[in-house]
Structures are given as C-alpha cells and as structure tokens.
Amino acid sequence: MAGFGIGSEIASVAATATVPITAPPETPKLPPREWVKANLFSSPFNSVLTVVSTAILLTLSWNLLKFIFNPIRQWNASATNLRLLMTRAYPEEQYLRIWVCVAIILTLAGSSMAVWRTGSAMPVTGLGRKLLATGALLVLLALLAPFSAGATVQWLLAALVVAAVGEALRRTGGRGETERTVSTLTLQVVALAGLVASLWVIPFGHHSYIPKRIPQVMHEPGTVALSTKLPWTIMLVVVVAAYFGGVLLRDRLAENALRVTLVVLWLLAPPVLVYLILRDPDFDMGHVIGTDIPIFLAYAVLGSTLLLWLTRPSTGEIGRIVAALVLLAGFATFLSPMRMVLRLDLLLLATFALAAPTFAGGLRARKRYTGAWLVLLGVMSWLITSINTASTVRVPGGFFIGGLAITLMVAIFTIVLSVPLGIALALARTSSMPIFRLLATWFIEFVRGVPLITILIFFSIMLPLFLPRGMHLGEVAAVIIGFVLFSAAYMAENIRGGLQSVTRGQHEAAEAVGMTTAQKTVFIVLPQALRVAIPPLVGHCIGVFKETSLLAIIGVFDLLYMARYVVPGQTEFMGSARESILFVIPIYWIVCSRMSKASQRIEQRTGLGER
C-alpha cells in the first residue's frame, strides 16, 4: 500500500537520522574504543560505509545549520503567525473556546496515560548518558554552525553544561541494587514545563496588527508569548492534574470499565469539540422543542418497540422481512421531499432492525440492545440539530477554522469514518454473494484507479454544480466525503489482506461449534484479520494525515498551505516560505511518529509477530 510505504520510509529515515547522531564516532568519551571497533569498523566495507555516511551526515547538518542560522532568515514569521498556522481566523474574543478544547483533549490524554499505565522507569545513569550524548552533539553542532565567535562560545558553554549535568547524573545514578530510576513521564513534564516557562521569558514573535475598519500596524507590538503564556501554564497544570486524577480513579474503580469509558469519550470528543464548543450552535429553542425533540421522541418510542419485538427469539423469519421493509422504506424516503433527519433516523433504525436477530435473547440482552439504539439515536439527533443551526461564533472566511486544526479535523474524521466503511467493503468483497462482491470490487478498483486530487476536485468544484438548487454541500463536508470514500477503498484492501490470513481451519472450527456466519465474522474472523492488518492500517492512517495537505488544491487552508502561501503572502514576511515549511515539518513528524508509536504499542499488546 502507498500509505504503508510512506510510513515505513519515515521510520527508516528516522532510524538512519537518529542512530548515528546519538552515537557519533567523533565523541571518544561516550563509547569505549572496543564498541566503535566492533560496530563501526568491523570490516573494510563497514569502515568505508562509516566514513562515507559520516561525511554525508556532516555535510547535510552543516548546510542545514548554515541555512537555519543565516541572519536573513525570517524565523519571526512562524512565531508571529502561530495563531494563523494553528486556527486561521478564529476570532480573538472567542479564543477561550480553543483553549477549552485543548484543555479537554489534555484532560483525556492525561487520564488515559494514567489508566493505560504509559511511561516507564528509566535508570538515572541512562538519562545521564543520554544527556552526555546530547551535550557532545551540541558541541559538534556549535562547531559546525556558522556562528560568530561569541555565539560559538555561548553554545559551547551551554553544551558543556548539558554534558556536565549528564556526567554528574551518570556518576551519582548508582549501579545494581542501589540503581535509582526516574519516570519518563516526569521527564516529559519537566520538558514541557521548560517550554512553558520559556514563554514567560522569551518574547516569541510579535503580533502587530489590530483589527479595525482599516487595519493598522500597532506602534507597540505585543508578542505571541504574551497572549499564550497564561493559557499554556494552565494547560500544563490541567494535564498534570488529569494524570493524578486518572491514577486515583484507576486505583479505586474497575480498570476495564474505565478504559471503555475513556475510549467512548475519545470517540465522542471530535464532534463535541467541533460542533458544540468551536461552532457553538445558536439553538432556536422553539424549533428544538417544536420539531427536533418530537422527532426524536417518536423515533425513540416506535424504534424501541420495534426492536424489542424483533429481538424476541420467538419472532422468527417475519422479523427479517419487517427489517428489510424498514430498510426499503428508508431508501424510499429519498424519493419524496422531507427533512433529512427523518431519513437518517429511519436508516439507522433499519440497520438496527436488520442486526436485531443476532442480538435476540433474554430480556436483559434485548433491553441493552434497545438502549444502544436510544443512545446512538440521541447522539445523531443532537449532531444533526447542532450542525443545522447557525453558529454564534462569527468567523470570516469559508470555514470557521483552518491551519493545523483543520488538518487534524479532516484526518480524524476521515480515519474514524473510513475504518467501518473499509471493513464493510472488505467483507463485501470477500463475501460469496456475487452482487455485493462485484459492487465492492468495482468500487474499490475504480477509486484506486483515480487520483485523490481528481476525487477532491470533483467533490469540491463539480459536485456543487450538479446539486439541485437550494441544496448546498459545505466545502469541508464535501471533501471529507471524498476523502472517506478514497481512504475506505485502500483500507478495504488492507483489511482484505488480513481476512485472507485467517486460515480455513478457523472458519471450520467456528462453524463446528455452531456459530452463525455473523457470529463467526464478528467473533472469530475479524479480530484475527484486524490484528494482522494493524501495520498497514496505521501506515495508511499516517498517509491520510499527510495527504490532507492536498486540500490546499481546492482552497481549504490547511497547515501546509498557510505556511507555504499565506504567511509568505504578508508584506512583512515576503520570501519566508522555506522557514515556514521547516517550521511545520516537525509538527507533521511529531503527529506521524506518535501514530507509529501507538501502532507499535498495539502490536505488542496483541502479540503480533510473536505468536
């Protein structure tokens, strides 16, 4: 898969980039002479390889440093435009909403870290060794970089301080029984606290324009640091508090229930943050009470009754016919004009009705199934209502958010929506029913035969021209649909690969214990298939995240477009495109490397490659 290829490429690039740098052969203090000899100069070929790659690495870093520390570089451009790069034109007076969102995500992240027991104990001597290596690396860079003599001395001093701290830690760390350890989480918090503290000291960027009828340059520029130092300090406190809260809950409550709750909260977070907090729907209560709630209640009562009846073991074949009729009715609603919410609710009901016989059983099971229907119906009704309501946040431009926020939003929605669609397509493609197999095959092969750009342009530019008058598809919704369809086709093939790895014996064993096809698929085949498909799936997700930058072609102002065109399009920062691109590279890298780390954790947890 293309996405997988890119993912593994990143991993290999990261590996080649970091391994020789953390252990450069020029630092005689760090590794013993034998280690160097055994690892880097073991054979003539190996020696040549070491020398050549060292030369290449040194030239590369020298040129990079020459570029970065060139006085004509406008690094101020990224610092000053941080807000633009993160959220585009979100209004200043409403910015609290962004911070609330960040706080919610950090709370979830902090408590998840506690509940899943992330972080590990790291020996203090190991930490010392790492700091020592960092100091050596800094010395190397300071000598390479085209600094003035004064600056070189300053950097060298800083490097020596780092190395000295490392050496001290290494010596005091203890050994064997007396070895002291430190949690990696503590180290991360210390690093974050250092970053936040730097906001209070260093005036990053300047935020020089004041919005007026005719915007003017302020005489006394404020700084980006000025407006973010307090919020980020609060965020640091929030994430630490969330972690300890998570520890408390973990020790007092059932761990499994806590994990399920957190997963549900994570899944609920994107729509809640986007549609409730960032957009803040301006509810017309009369309409909500007069129309939305009655529709919900009607569906809740009728649907529950239907589902309770359908899940009765005694209902039998007639239930399936009724369910199929509901589905037909759901599709038929598109023939006559009516509210979209009526159609969607009916389709959801049809889905539940069709699946109902699988969940047939005792009263408790039936009640639980009906409860699931009610919860899903409630979430969907709320989403549709809040989406269909005007926002109280007035933001200029085509969409209320941009920059990194829209990159993340499109990536998350695409990944979350295309996974179930991909599973459905993979199942359909491997099914024994020719119509569905053909449809799925055609769809997958067609989508994979068309470039993503074509699909995006079709959905954003052509589709609005085909839509009937009065029907309007928001640009972001259009591209997310296009993206989901594209991504699902690739996901389906990844999952199909997993499905084929499940041996015939598993199928037969499942059938032998009397499982139905649905039970066999859900409980035997899919778990094994998905486990095998994790690496390509995560590779694909990384690909999706990076492909969001193609949105720029159709005028969605994502992070890369901001850095490449909008920031250099300011009179003040004309010609700063390369600085901005260098600034966004680490952002993309951090997100992608986190995803790949998560994939490794899941692989370990599911024992992939071990059994």
Partner 1 sequence: MKSKYWKLLAVFLSIGIVAAACGSDDDAGTTTTAAPTTAAPTTAAPTTQVEVVQGGSLLDTVQARGTLHCGVSGSAVAFSETQPDGSVTGIDADFCRAVAAAVTGSADNVEFTALTASERFTAVQTGDVDVLMRNTTWTQSRDSSVGMDFGPTTYYDGQQLMARVSDGFSGSSQVADIDGSVVCTNVGTTTEKNIAEAALLAGAEITLLGFETSDEVYETFIAGGCDITTTDGSALVGRKAKQQPADQEWVIFPATPISKEPLGPTYGQNDSAWADAVNWTVYAMIILDEYGITSANVDDHVGDEAEVGRLLGGEGELQSGMGLAPDAFYQVIKQVGSYGEVYDRNLNPVGLYREGSANAGWLDGGLIYSPPAR
Stretch that binds partner 1, among 11-19, 109-117, 467-475, 590-598 (CB under 8 A): 467-475
Residue with tokens 């007396």: 178
Joined tokens for residue 93: 């007076």
- Among 566, 584, 592, 595, the residue binding partner 1 under the rule CB under 8 A is 566
From the CB of residue 366, how many other CB atoms can be counted at a distance below 10 Å? 20
Helices within 515-576 (DSSP H only): 517-519, 526-547, 559-561
Residue 170 touching partner 1 (CB under 8 A): no
Helix axes 2-22, 44-68, angle to 10 degrees: 100
How buried is residue 446: exposed, middle or buried, by Cβ count under 10 Å (0-12/13-18/19+)? Answer: exposed
Site string for partner 1, 530-559 (x = CB under 8 A): ----------------------xxxx-x--
Q: How far is the CB of 425 from partner 1 (least distance, A)?
A: 8
Q: How far is the CB of 248 from partner 1 (least distance, A)?
A: 36
Residues 402-421 that bind partner 1 (CB under 8 A): 413, 417, 420-421
Q: How far is the CB of 302 from partner 1 (least distance, A)?
A: 18
From the CB of residue 301, how many other CB atoms can be counted at a distance below 10 Å? 10
Closer Cβ to partner 1, 41 or 443, answer by number: 443
Closer Cβ to partner 1, 90 or 232, answer by number: 90
Q: How far is the CB of 259 from partner 1 (least distance, A)?
A: 24
CA distance from start to end of the chain: 24
| Phi, psi (rounded to 5 degrees) for 209 | -100, 140
- Among 50, 431, 441, 606, the residue binding partner 1 under the rule CB under 8 A is 431
Residues 319-348 that bind partner 1 (CB under 8 A): 320, 324, 327, 330, 337-341, 343-344, 347-348
Residue 427 touching partner 1 (CB under 8 A): yes
Residues 281-300 that bind partner 1 (CB under 8 A): 287, 291
- Number of residues assigned to the chain: 611
Stretch that binds partner 1, among 42-50, 146-154, 303-311, 391-399 (CB under 8 A): 391-399
Residue 243 corresponds to which amino acid? Y
The neighbouring-strand residues paired with 153 are none
Helix axes 124-144, 44-68, angle to 10 degrees: 70
Closer Cβ to partner 1, 81 or 407, answer by number: 81
Q: How far is the CB of 465 from partner 1 (least distance, A)?
A: 7
Residue 91 touching partner 1 (CB under 8 A): yes
Residue 315 touching partner 1 (CB under 8 A): no
Residues 440-459 that bind partner 1 (CB under 8 A): 457
User: How far is Cα 319 from Cα 317, in angstroms, rounded to an integer?
Assistant: 5
Closer Cβ to partner 1, 32 or 420, answer by number: 420
SS3 220: strand
Site string for partner 1, 173-202 (x = CB under 8 A): ------------------------------
Cβ atoms of 525 and 498 closer than 8 Å: no
| Phi, psi (rounded to 5 degrees) for 397 | 100, 175
**429: nearest Cα among 417, 419, 415, 442:** 442
Say which DSSP state 524 is in.
Answer: I
Site string for partner 1, 242-271 (x = CB under 8 A): ------------------------------
